[in-house]
A = this chain, B = another copy of it.
Amino acid sequence: MRIGELAARAGTTTRTLRYYESRGLLPARRNDNGYRTYDENDLKLLRQIRTLQDFGFDLEETRPFVECLRAGHPEGDSCPASLAVYRRKLDELDALIGELQAVRAKIGLRLAMAEGEPPLCELGGQEL
């Protein structure tokens, strides 16, 4: 299969695939006329990448999963390096969620304070 078909089947673009190749993430075979050629396994690798991207992994973080699949393992996360990425990501997510919740609390408090105070503004008593 050529690049256009692979892109379509994975729901992405040819530009994206060339970008992945430029990053060494998804190299392609070439046929006689220089066209990139892919097989079903490449589609599997690509879908792995896309799934992780949807989770918020950046490209470099997907590399262990891709290499794991390319090494013949049934799942991208069948290898220790992938699990390490999972764990690091969980820690990052926990930290981020915690920070966001803290910020949310602060803003919520400020909003309540500002709403509770007499307006002091040129506000004409709209429904608060």
Binding site for B on A (CB under 8 A): 55-56, 73-75, 77-80, 82-83, 86-87, 89-90, 93-94, 96-97, 100-101, 103-104, 106-108, 110-111, 114-115, 117, 119-121, 123, 126, 128
Contacts and interface: CB of A to CB of B under 8 A. Distances in A.
Given A93-B100, A100-B100, A126-B80, A75 B114 contact: yes
Given A121-B80, A123-B80, A114 B86 contact: yes
A82 B114 contact: yes
A17 to B, nearest CB: 24
B114 A77 contact: yes
B126 A107 contact: no
A55 B121 CA distance: 24
A122 to B, nearest CB: 8
